[in-house]
Amino acid sequence: MAGNGPMKEAWIKAGDLPLYTRILGDRSAGVPVVLVHGIGVAGRLMLPLGERLSASRQVYVPDLPGFGKSPGPRRALGVPGLAGCLAAWARSAGLRRAAFLGNSFGCQVAVELAVRHPGLAYRLVLQAPTMDPAARSCVRQVARWLKDLPGERASQAPLSLADYRSCGLRRLLATFRCALRDPIEEKLPRVRAPVLVVRGAADPIVPRRWAERAAGLPPNGRLLTLSGAPHALVYARPDELARAILPFLRE
The predicted-structure confidence for 95-135, as pLDDT tens digits, reads as follows 999 999 999 999 999 999 999 999 999 999 999 999 999 99
Averaged pLDDT score across all residues of the chain? 95
Q: What is the mean pLDDT of residues 174-179?
A: 96
Residue 5: pLDDT above 90? no
Q: What are phi and psi of 69, to 5 degrees?
A: -90, -5
Residue 148: pLDDT above 50? yes
Q: What is the mean pLDDT of residues 200-225?
A: 98
Residue 58: pLDDT above 90? yes
Does 8-250 carry CATH code 3.40.50.1820? yes
Residue partners of 226: CB distance under 8 A and separation at least 6: 198, 199, 200, 201, 233, 237, 240, 241, 244
Contacts 24+ apart (CB under 8 A), 83-87: 83/109, 83/110, 83/112, 83/113, 83/116, 84/116, 85/14, 85/15, 85/17, 85/19, 86/14, 86/34, 86/36, 86/62, 86/113, 87/113, 87/116, 87/117, 87/120
Residue 145: pLDDT above 60? yes
pLDDT tier for residue 1 given thresholds of 50, 70 and 90: very low
Q: Where are the domains of the chain?
A: 8-250
Distance of alpha carbon 104 from the chain centroid: 6
Between 5 and 145, the more confident residue is: 145
